[in-house]
Structure 1
């Protein structure tokens, strides 16, 4: 096994473990701040005028994105298929969406979608998940083959924390701090999307000011705190995260969270738009 593959496997194992520990924390965070619902609804808005009937939700977590998709499409009766690698996350997702018709959950690897699905989809969503996939390029390649002609990929990407000038807030406040936002640099992600045949990708920035409490709630999620303090057990990370947030908002004020939406449309959609004009 080469070094890169070994790193990817260890990273995926760590991600699965952290997310198994994160189900309760994600739900508590979402109840207070509604971030992932907001991201999902915005992604759905950005794919208009597409009106998908069959959707794949990749990295669905505790089902927040899946529920948001279903609610936002009330009256359209879509079929939504959702996949995640964490069984504990999926238990919560199934409970959250148990009353919904046309919603199906599967445990599986987002980097091996073709082994999980033989059918095609009108839209595939990666809501706050793509940056946690070392093998994101293979996942996107397989996802593109699962799209019908005219289908669309919709991605929300965590770009980081920034000051009012757009500079990295963590690097500014803690020059010595090593913090990796995820496994996927934005440049590599964009290049990968642009390399998909017969597609066109657009990017939309989304930044908003965040409070100290928001930062603490977000960064204390096990899967997030591991990025800040990977060598410490979870319970030992919490006081470190608290101190980190206190110092961050003192050294950088205001602090903004940044996300990027990437919408990749296939040739069939582009052709239909040209015909309409």
Structure 2
């Protein structure tokens, strides 16, 4: 294994560990703020007039996006296949969706989709997951091959925290603070989508004003706080996250959370 391969392996192992630790926190956050349900429903609005019946949910986490897909498309009785690398996340997802028909959960690596799926899909969703995949380009390449003609790739990408001028809020408020939003720069993601044969990409900026409580609940999730304080044990991160959120609310008002919504249609 070369140096780059070793880095990706370590990063993937760290992501799996962080998300195993994050299942409870993600569910508590979602109960209060409904962010991932909102993103999923917004992604569905953007693929209209498409009404997919066979869907792949990549990086489904605790099943919030999977449930939102099923509820929004209930009239079409969709078949939804949902994949995640975290066993603990999948246990939550299965519990969340246990009474619903047509939902199938698979524990697996999102960067090797063709290992788990031979069938084709009308739509493949990456809801708040693509920026955590070091091998995102291979995942998207395989996803594009799994799409039927006319099918869509739907992606929500966390682009950061901003002030009302659209400037990155973290370095604006804390010049010495580094915040790793994810493994994938947006320019590389867009370039990758544009390079996929037969795909046409639409990109929309989606920003929501967020409160100090929202920020703390989000940034204190283990998988998120590790981007701020990667070398500090989780319990020691919490007071640091609280202090950062208090100071950020003082120095940047209002604060907006930014998402890039990308839709790639297969000709």
Shorter-normalised TM-score: what interval? over 0.9
What TM-score, normalized to structure 1? 0.96
| Alpha-carbon separation, structure 2, partners of 1:150 and 1:170 | 40
Q: Deviations over 1:155-175 (max 9, x none)?
A: 000010000000000010111
Deviation at 1:12, TM superposition (A): 0.6
The aligned residue for residue 153 of structure 2 is 153
Aligned pairs, how many?
A: 267
| Alpha-carbon separation, structure 2, partners of 1:250 and 1:228 | 19
The aligned residue for residue 50 of structure 1 is 50
The aligned residue for residue 274 of structure 1 is none
The aligned residue for residue 111 of structure 2 is 111
Query: Matched residue of 2:123: which SS?
Result: strand
Query: Matched residue of 1:181: which SS?
Result: coil
Deviation at 1:7, TM superposition (A): 1.2
Q: How does 1:68-107 map to 2 (within 5 A)?
A: 68-107=68-107
Q: Which runs of 5+ in 1 are unaligned?
A: 268-277
Deviation at 1:74, TM superposition (A): 1.6
| Alpha-carbon separation, structure 2, partners of 1:252 and 1:238 | 21
Deviation at 1:140, TM superposition (A): 0.1
The aligned residue for residue 214 of structure 1 is 214
Q: Which moved more, 1:138-147 or 1:2-11?
A: 2-11
The aligned residue for residue 16 of structure 1 is 16
| Alpha-carbon separation, structure 2, partners of 1:76 and 1:151 | 16
Structure 1 runs (4+) deviating above 6 angstroms are none
Deviation at 1:238, TM superposition (A): 0.4
The aligned residue for residue 250 of structure 2 is 250
The aligned residue for residue 224 of structure 2 is 224
The aligned residue for residue 26 of structure 2 is 26
| Alpha-carbon separation, structure 2, partners of 1:179 and 1:163 | 16
Deviation at 1:125, TM superposition (A): 0.1
The aligned residue for residue 233 of structure 1 is 233
| Alpha-carbon separation, structure 1, partners of 2:63 and 2:236 | 28
What TM-score, normalized to structure 2? 0.99
| Alpha-carbon separation, structure 2, partners of 1:36 and 1:16 | 19
Q: Which runs of 5+ in 2 are unaligned?
A: none
The aligned residue for residue 141 of structure 2 is 141
| Alpha-carbon separation, structure 2, partners of 1:59 and 1:153 | 14
| Alpha-carbon separation, structure 1, partners of 2:99 and 2:8 | 37
The aligned residue for residue 265 of structure 2 is 265
| Alpha-carbon separation, structure 2, partners of 1:199 and 1:148 | 12
| Alpha-carbon separation, structure 2, partners of 1:45 and 1:210 | 22
| Alpha-carbon separation, structure 1, partners of 2:79 and 2:22 | 27
